[in-house]
Amino acid sequence: MSILVTGGAGFIGSALCRRLIREGHAPLTVVDKLTYAASPKTLEKEQASGALELVEADICDTDAMDTVFKRTQPTLVFNLAAETHVDRSIDGPEAFLKTNTLGVLRLLEVMRSHRDTLAPDARDTLRLIHISTDEVFGALGSEGVFTEQSPYDPSSPYAASKAASDHLVRAWTRTYGLNTVITNCSNNYGPYQFPEKLIPLMILKALAGERLPVYGDGQQVRDWLHVDDHADALIKAATLGEPGATYAIGGRAERTNLQVVHGICAALDAARPASSSYSGLIQHVTDRPGHDRRYAIAPDYIEQSLGWRAQKPFETGLAETVDWYLDNEAWWRPILEQRYAGQRLGAAV
Ligand code: NAD
Ligand code: TYD
């Protein structure tokens, strides 16, 4: 089995690669455009051991992707290449439409023409696992959960670009018979997450003694999943999932943003005590435009059909994540200095 991972130098992609290698699926090929969000350093050990080859390319570049497909002859393709930050999508939607939507169209077309060059039995085994988000379903009120049957109702440019990509993948499955699986996952957290996202941003701001900007009343709910649990779900969906299936993936760990930020402050109070609690730094700021109130996933289908279940309790994972950022300043310091210093994004309407 030859595996291609697009976006493998990002947060979830790199965790997936490490897990695939640990489970004996090497060698892997990673295609990544190496945007501001990429951390190719996280894959250096795997590259040095020969377990992984990193190809710098854009999924929108049909020729480059065609060359990779011809040379590596993948059987499984995990697509994680994406622009992923909602706030940046508010400031500049076009990059999101380019990579997340046009990029997926191009990837589907490269796969389709590659599939058509294969012997009949290999045609059916070539499979795309398209990694998507629960944000395509829009906002929930205080009741209800997202499932594989939830209607699409995206709020942000990011969510709309991912929703469009899911529709393309389904259309290429029905029209051209591509073997695909779509996964819609809730918010991930864990090591190597770029510090524009809530959890790492709050950890690093607290350590710097800066205000912790909570959007609006902080009562918005996200359903948190540790990135290693997500990687496990993706491998199960790829290897055991039904062709054409969709899996909703979540950690059954709904928390308000304020609960998460207080949890981070409590973990830091214990691990790196300051003169007063870090929670004194919390500051409510203007809300995000189009802010979805609540996300929650019912992962019953993947639990029952593939035997997957999130293993890491949120409070344990959050404390471990705080410790990881405390121990890995060499990873995040250059990011803060050279790529993103923590300023507010996406506030403009
Ligand atoms: P990330 O921003 O950390 O990484 C994205 C990676 O994609 C980066 O390495 C970047 O360089 C690469 N990339 C961007 N544009 C590219 C292009 N045109 N061609 C090739 N590579 C490109 O993102 P992440 O959090 O690891 O998310 C990965 C996937 O999982 C995305 O598709 C995202 O929509 C989905 N997802 C993320 C979450 C979450 O909470 N982070 C939850 C559900 C689903
Ligand atoms: P984020 O990590 O951007 O993920 P997503 O928007 O994809 O869910 O944000 C998670 C939640 O945290 C979301 O409700 C917005 C909120 N948030 C803040 O309150 N302050 C911040 O500085 C950031 C980045 C996010």
265-296 per-position pLDDT tens digit: 999 999 999 999 999 999 999 999 999 999 99
Average pLDDT, the chain: 98
CA 166 to ligand 1 centroid distance, Å: 15
- Tell me which of 19, 80, 87 to substitute to probe ligand 1's pocket, judged by most ligand atoms within 8 Å of the beta carbon: 80
Residue 88 Cβ inside 6 Å of ligand 2? The answer reads no
With a 6 Å cutoff on the Cβ, whether 198 touches ligand 1 is: no
Residue with the smallest CA separation from ligand 1 atom 41 is 188
Q: How far is the CA of 283 from the centre of ligand 2 (A)?
A: 14
Distant-in-sequence, close-in-space partners of 24: CB < 8 Å, separation ≥ 6: none
- Which stretches does DSSP call E strand in 57-125? 76-79
Whether 61 sits among the annotated catalytic residues: the reply is: no
- Does the beta carbon of 195 sit less than 6 angstroms from any atom of ligand 2? no
158 is catalytic: yes
Task: Measure the CA–CA gap between 85 and 122, rounded to whole angstroms.
Answer: 36
What are the C-alpha distances in Å from 104 to residues 83, 126, 207, 255? 12, 16, 38, 32
Give, in order, the Cα–Cα distances in Å from 97 to each of 39, 85, 185, 321. Answer: 22, 13, 20, 31
To the query of whether residue 323 is one of the catalytic residues in this protein, the response is: no
Whether the bond between 273 and the residue before it is cis, its omega within 30 degrees of 0, is: no
> How far does CA 186 lie from the centroid of its chain?
9
Q: Is the CB of 10 under 6 A from ligand 1?
A: yes
- Whether the full predicted model's pTM is greater than 0.75, yes or no, is yes
Query: Which pLDDT tens digit goes with each residue over 131-188?
Result: 999 999 999 999 999 999 999 999 999 999 999 999 999 999 999 999 999 999 999 9
Predicted confidence at residue 349, as pLDDT, reads: 60
- 201 Cβ below 6 A of ligand 2: yes
DSSP 289: T
Distance 282 CA to ligand 2 centre (A): 14
pLDDT for the residue 348: 76
Taken in order 141, 145, 150, 153, the sign of the CA dihedral is positive
How remote is the CA of residue 120 from the centroid of ligand 2, in Å?
A: 46
Q: What is the mean pLDDT of residues 97-119?
A: 98
Residue 190 has a pLDDT of 98
Beta-ladder partners of 77: 4, 128
pLDDT of residue 282: 98
pLDDT at residue 1 above 90? no
Q: pLDDT at residue 339 above 90?
A: yes
Q: Which residues of 231-262 are buried (b: 16+ CB within 10 A; e: fewer)?
A: bbbbbbbbeebeeebbbbbbbbbbbbbbebbb
- Retrieve residue 322's tokens: 């705080």
Residue 248 identity: A
CA 42 to each of CA 18, 74, 346: distance values in angstroms, whole numbers, following the listed order:
9, 23, 28
Averaged pLDDT, 212-240: 98
How confident is the model over 247-265, as a mean pLDDT? Answer: 98
Nearest atom in ligand 1 to the alpha carbon of residue 194 is: 3
Give the residue, by CA position, lying nearest to ligand 2 atom 17.
198
Q: 250 CB under 6 A from ligand 1? A: no
The tally of CA atoms less than 13 A away on the side-chain side of residue 302 is: 32
